[in-house]
Amino acid sequence: MRNDATPDPHAEQVAFGQRLKILRNRRGYSREALGGLMGRSMSWVKGIETGRRGVPPMEVILQLAEVLRVRDLADLTGVSVPIDLFTGPGHARLPAVKAAVDAFPLGSPVQAPPAAHLAARLAAAWSARHTSPHHRDVVGGLLPDLIRDAQAAVRQADRAADRRAAQALLSEVYSLAQFFVAYQPDAALLWRVAERGMIAAQESEDPHTIGIAAWLTAQAHRDSGPQHFDAADHVTDEALRFLDPLLPDATDEVRAIAGALRFEAGYTAARRGESGTAWRHWDAARAVADRLPAAYFHPVTSFSRAIMGAHAVTIAVELHAGGESVRQAARADAATIPSRPRRARHRIEEARGFHLDGQPDVALATLAQAHEAAPETIRYNGYAKRIILEEAESRVPDRRRRASELAVRLGILAA
């Protein structure tokens, strides 16, 4: 029995409207705010919550799930649905990665490899992540040994400088692990990885490493929902306050991570619906990108000149501005993004924009392009799944067929 006065949205007797009100309040949205994000009025929200309106159709339920960051449709419907929109399937390599993270040995007899050898393996792992269409499978196979060896390197370092260098490598290994663990069904593991990466980064005293860890930690906070946006902003602001004085004499890597953090601030502002602040941060990030070499591409964040068009699409989509999303998509060139998963992510953001703009056929075609670039990216993306599930119920037969085929390819529906 619950010991507070908050109703449990999973309780069977709670009606749809009551569930919606509970989830809206938990996210900190007013009726007016939720209505605005849905393109509806405050009275529309009130009508559903009070039961004056009936349960909306599935496409509206899926849109509500996106806006409220609902991770299981049962939270809204009260009926167990065999898909968790914002958590992907557990990857076959997840148990081995989890075991390596959880082991955290103190007296292992494993001999640490030379730092240069470990750094080369880590660079190869990042390269594999960007070039392989099945990047989670490849990275998941490499991570257990990388985690074990990086931990050993920290334990066995004799000099302070060597230990700091080993901590930087360990932090970056945890950063790679966070990419693998993200959107899989183990939130506690994600936070262990994020926090250990941040601690190792601070121990390294390396600005670039600290920036990467802060970038990923801010994302983890933001993806946890609106009640964590302030925490995301705090991490971003602290990291930029640390990095900004170093930028006049910084390397391209440090400049790039500062630019990536500035975009993250804009991303969070867009999630809040703060258009002016979001675009102001995007402008600041673009100014940083313009000072980087034309062909530069950050190996962790993908920050570069080429990525700024994709970032503009993301800002517009998160602001639920369909027309602006499509305009920004027309300006962005996905072909210039060398990373397969990042290119797929951009295609998904474009699809969201087309869907917001009332172009579902173009959205589905764009999602097919995302699947071609990196199947393991779209398979773990809740927004892509929402669009596909909605259009699988379309009244247009050809659209319904194409959406259903995509759903089968993603493993959402059985063949």
Distance CA 382, CA 372 (A): 17
Distance CA 124, CA 139 (A): 10
What integer best gives the mean pLDDT of the chain?
Answer: 89
Q: CA nearest 225: which of 382, 343, 349, 357? A: 382
Model confidence over 120-169: pLDDT tens digits? Answer: 999 999 999 999 989 999 999 999 999 999 999 999 999 999 999 999 99
Question: What average pLDDT does range 217-238 have in this prediction?
Answer: 93
Which residues, at least 6 apart from 81, have a Cβ–Cβ distance to it below 8 Å?
A: 72, 73, 74
pLDDT band at 3; cut points 50, 70, 90 = very low
Least confident of 15-19, 303-307, 365-369, 384-388: 15-19
Model confidence over 181-204: pLDDT tens digits? Answer: 998 888 899 999 999 999 999 999
Query: Is pLDDT of 270 > 80?
Result: yes
**CATH assignment, 16-77:** 1.10.260.40
Can you read off the two tokens belonging to residue 344?
A: 């797929």
**For residue 108, what pLDDT is reported?**
64
Distance CA 150, CA 169 (A): 7
Which pTM was predicted? 0.81
Distance CA 127, CA 299 (A): 8
Model confidence over 315-331: pLDDT tens digits? Answer: 999 999 989 999 999 99
CA 191 from chain centre, in angstroms, equals 14
Bigger pLDDT: 269 or 72? 269
Distance CA 343, CA 106 (A): 40
